[in-house]
């Protein structure tokens, strides 16, 4: 495979404004809920968030477990328990256990509520801030918690444009923030993984190179390699090049141009879209040891 790694850096101006928005509004909330993607639980966790919120109580929502490798999801659950990280795993296709989420939130901020009670302050609504990188399912999560459509949902980054306060019930208020990435991916593998799940707008990506990177990742894992073969009804040797596998996929799907050449754009978009939507199989790109 070409050793020139796909170079991905994306930090539009509104991302800087979102960071400033988070800092400005932190004092208004009791707890921060960060949503990550179960297929890339480490890569989709913005390293700037912890630095921004510092000691503010936090709950991690690991979303889209229905698209992730169940064995690795179990390992990530153990990892969070062992590292005293409060986390709830959610399935984007099933009804959210709202009561479990609320129970977790109240448990985490119980010391704050008890302190206020001792100070004679009257009972009030708990204020939450929802953060996360683009396209991890924040809007879907909010709509399920609120039980009605409030946030616009889209399978692309940048749908939530500005902050919005949402009342969940008499005891909970939620502040939704736009998705925010960090300025630079020190490890380009992280950028590649995030591009594969749709965090970065495909309009600015070289989809062909990205699809080769994804093929490279999948073929190194025997289970995922078998999923790739099964999805596209192809076969290849372990040492076959990513370009060779790409061509086999294109030929099998009949993706040709008018000149009977391989339709590179259509093939690349298909591979990435079918991975993103779980059609290749349940796959997790981050191992616990990454």
Residues 77 and 116 in one domain: yes
User: Domains in the chain: how many in total?
Assistant: 2
Question: CA 248 to CA 272: how far, in whole Å?
Answer: 16
Predicted local confidence at residue 223, as pLDDT: 97
Residues 168 and 220 in one domain: no
Q: What whole-number percentage of the chain has pLDDT above 70?
A: 85
DSSP helix, strand, coil percent of the chain (3-state; round to 5): 45, 10, 45
What are the CA-CA distances from residue 81 to residues 73, 77, 90, 204 (Å)? 13, 6, 16, 38
Question: CA 62 to CA 49: how far, in whole Å?
Answer: 15
What are the CA-CA distances from residue 82 to residues 34, 75, 79, 145 (Å)? 19, 10, 5, 28
- Residue 254 domain-assigned? yes
Residues 29 and 135 in one domain: yes
Average pLDDT over residues 222-241: 97
Q: What whole-number percentage of the chain has pLDDT above 90?
A: 48
Average pLDDT over residues 47-63: 89
Secondary structure element (H or E) that encloses residue 214, with its range: helix 207-219
Question: CA 88 to CA 104: how far, in whole Å?
Answer: 8
Residues 255 and 140 in one domain: no
Give the 3-state secondary structure of 93-144. Answer: CCCCCHHHHHHHHHHHCHHHHHHHHHCCCCCCCEEEEEECCCCCCHHHHHHH
Average pLDDT over residues 131-150: 80
The last residue of one of the domains, among 157, 176, 195, is 176
Average pLDDT over all residues of the chain = 85
Predicted local confidence at residue 217, as pLDDT: 96
Residues 6 or more apart whose Cβ sits within 8 Å of residue 33: 58, 59, 60, 61, 105, 128, 129, 130, 131
Residues 110 and 160 in one domain: yes
Q: What is the CATH number of the domain that holds 235?
A: 1.10.1580.10
Residues 45 and 140 in one domain: yes
Q: How confident is the model at residue 13 (pLDDT cuts 50, 70, 90)?
A: low
Provide the CA 248 distance to its chain's centre, in angstroms: 30
Predicted local confidence at residue 261, as pLDDT: 94
The last residue of one of the domains, among 120, 154, 176, is 176
- Residue 282 domain-assigned? no
Higher pLDDT, 48 or 158: 48
Would the pLDDT of 162 be above 60? no
Give the range of the structural domain holding residue 244, as residue numbers without chain letter: 206-276
Residues 165 and 214 in one domain: no
Predicted local confidence at residue 73, as pLDDT: 97
Higher pLDDT, 142 or 155: 142
Helix pair angle (242-253, 207-219), 10° resolution: 110
Predicted local confidence at residue 157, as pLDDT: 41
Question: CA 73 to CA 257: how far, in whole Å?
Answer: 40
- Residue 195 domain-assigned? no
């Amino acid at each position: 495979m070409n050793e020139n790694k796909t170079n991905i850096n994306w930090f539009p101006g509104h991302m800087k404004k979102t960071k400033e928005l988070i800092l400005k509004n932190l004092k208004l909330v009791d707890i921060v809920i960060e949503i990550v993607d179960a297929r890339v639980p480490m890569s989709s966790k913005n390293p700037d968030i912890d630095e921004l919120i510092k000691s503010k109580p936090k709950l991690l929502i690991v979303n889209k477990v229905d698209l992730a490798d169940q064995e690795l999801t179990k390992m990530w659950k153990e990892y969070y328990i062992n590292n005293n990280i409060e986390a709830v795993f959610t399935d984007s296709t099933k009804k959210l256990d709202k009561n479990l989420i609320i129970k977790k939130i109240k448990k985490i901020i119980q010391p704050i509520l008890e302190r206020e009670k001792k100070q004679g302050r009257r009972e009030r609504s708990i204020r939450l801030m929802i953060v996360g990188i683009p396209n991890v399912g924040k809007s879907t999560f909010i709509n399920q918690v609120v039980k009605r459509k409030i946030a616009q949902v889209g399978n692309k980054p940048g749908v939530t444009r500005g902050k919005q306060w949402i009342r969940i019930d008499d005891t909970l208020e939620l502040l939704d923030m736009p998705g925010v990435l960090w300025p630079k991916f020190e490890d380009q593998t992280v950028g590649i993984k995030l591009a594969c799940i749709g965090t970065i707008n495909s309009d600015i990506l070289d989809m062909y190179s990205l699809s080769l990177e994804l093929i490279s990742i999948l073929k190194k894992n025997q289970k995922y390699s078998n999923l790739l073969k099964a999805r596209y009804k192809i076969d290849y040797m372990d040492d076959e090049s990513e370009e060779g596998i790409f061509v086999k996929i294109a030929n099998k799907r009949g993706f040709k141009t008018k000149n009977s050449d391989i339709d590179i754009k259509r093939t690349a978009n298909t591979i990435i879209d079918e991975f993103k939507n779980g059609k290749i199989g349940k796959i997790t790109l981050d191992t616990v040891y990454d």
